[in-house]
Amino acid sequence: MSQSNRVLAVQTSPLAGLDRAQLSFAQVLGQSVAAVAPSAVMVTVPALVIADVGNLAIAIFGVATLLMTAVGYCVGQFSTRMAAVSGLYSYVVKGLGPVGGVIAGWSVVIGYAAAAMASVLGASSYLAALLSRIGVPNGTVTVCLLAVLVGVLTVGLMVRGVRLSARITLVVEFFAITIAAVVLVVAFVHAGGRVRAPPDPEISGSTLAFTLLLSIVAFVGFESAGTLAREARNPFVAVSRAVRWTPLVLGALYLFASSMQTPALLGDGNDHLPFVLNLPNSSGAASTTLSVLLEIGITASWLACIVGSTTALSRTLFAMGREGVVPKVLGHTHPRFRTPHVALLTAMPIMVAVTITFLVASSPRSALLALLTASAHGYVLAYVLLCVATPAFLNRIGELTPIPVVIGGLTAAILVALITWAAFAQTFVAGTTTAVFAALLILGLVVYLWRVKRDPGVRTRVGLYDEPVGRDIVDNYRPWEVRR
């Protein structure tokens, strides 16, 4: 059967139910940016990196930008050839087969879910701090109630439609980045704009590896544009451009933030800039206009990150539901809004419940550390598998050239070396979180093998991607219309 006849013979796309060709490039780009929460990262992660390596932070973020740009290149090798709403999951399947793909799939599911939970915690905590200014008690109960409210509002927005949520997150993140940039400049000027070398920090190799790994974590989520491939206009171009440009844009923002947060400024104990993972309170600088603006901006960024991370999570679960890797009900879409509402309505309550459990059982700071660590594990493992899968995929389709082999192989090797090297750093925090991540990953693989045993067809369905159908050709071919 010829390719054209095959297209006409296909009656229903495997991903039918989701809207097609609804999102502009700007909206697809907004998904990548929102999932990263760059404005929150700008005022937090550089402070941690600078504390360990001083003025080398700028070089560290420069190297991280190059590495993530290389990962974006590997994503582009798939996104220019297939429209898969599960992103990295489907890409790795095409390169490494079902088992490797499922490992990558569960890895990004954990990454997206942990990032969304961390964002729920961050947004509710900053909202509580803002409300405390008008007399609302700022405590665990308030934060937990706000977490529920944030979950309800964001899931309602996402069920309502991807176009609406994409527009809102794009505007919100632009607003948040602007505020973060203004606050950094004002704080820098307030500190006298002094740039001096740090007092000769004793930097070990493992510390350098750890800070580089930390700076890489500041980029994770940028690849999530791939989960909107079916819903994007011209997805082969829009998704590829988004994953190509987002690391460069983020890198520029982080380099700017690092240059504003000099060792001199941080060493003077400037309280306008919160340290990483220190959630806000109503003492000290919390009464200043600068802190209010910063809290508003970070709150907006956390909210956008909830939408971005949960959007990517729901599309991945939707694809897994269609394949039979998870219960098929997760592959259903809303008849009116054409969104994966079952996956959204299933995931959000669980994430809010886990967030509240963390809040009750530990401090907000410890909870945020654990969630971000789990998220980082998920993303980095998936990136390694993606880079390995890239040359394997291109070789399978007969389009392999030396450049993908070099970029994919070298990037995967560097990421693995960084994880191993950083494990010897005294500042490396993993422990229980790493064990939980590994357990969840093994559980996901066991569930997959169990479902394959019950239904061998699952193995052949893993890695679904969007396909054109006869109706697309008929509906889009209108010779009586004037094309301009």
For residue 349, pLDDT over 50 is answered with yes
Exposure string over 120-158, b if 16+ CB within 10 A, otherwise e: bbbbbbbbbbbebeeeeebeeebbbebbbebbeebbebb
- Is the pLDDT confidence value at 479 over 70? no
Q: Is residue 279 part of a domain?
A: yes
Asked if residue 2 is part of any domain, the answer here is no
- 53 has a pLDDT exceeding 50: yes
Q: Is 470 part of any domain?
A: no
Q: Is 375 among the domain residues?
A: yes
For the chain, give the percent of residues with pLDDT over 90.
46
Whether residue 4 lies inside any domain: the answer is no
Extract the tokens encoding 15. Answer: 């991903």
Q: Has residue 435 been placed in a domain?
A: yes
Q: Which residue has the higher pLDDT, 137 or 340?
A: 340
User: What is the band of 346 on the pLDDT scale with cuts at 50, 70, 90?
Assistant: very high
pLDDT tens-digit map of 368-413? 878 888 888 899 999 999 999 999 999 999 999 999 999 999 999 9
Q: Is 385 strand, coil or helix?
A: helix
Residue 278 lies in a domain: yes
What pLDDT does residue 196 have?
A: 47
Q: Which domain holds residue 302?
A: 21-461
pLDDT digits (tens, 9 = 90+) for 246-269: 999 999 999 998 888 765 445 444
Find all residues with CB under 8 Å of 457, minimum gap 6, and list them.
324
What pLDDT digit, counting tens, does each position of 272-286 carry?
333 333 444 444 443
Decide if 474 is inside a domain: no
Cα distances from 338 to residues 160, 331, 434, in angstroms, run: 9, 12, 36
Mean pLDDT across the chain, nearest whole number? 83
Number of compact structural domains in the chain? 1
Give the CATH number, domain containing residue 437: 1.20.1740.10
Across 414-424, average pLDDT: 80
- Residue burial 167-191, b: 16+ Cβ < 10 Å; e: rest: bbbbebbebbbebbbebbebbbeeb
Contact 325, 95 (CB under 8 A): no
pLDDT digits (tens, 9 = 90+) for 321-333: 999 999 999 999 9
pLDDT of residue 161: 85
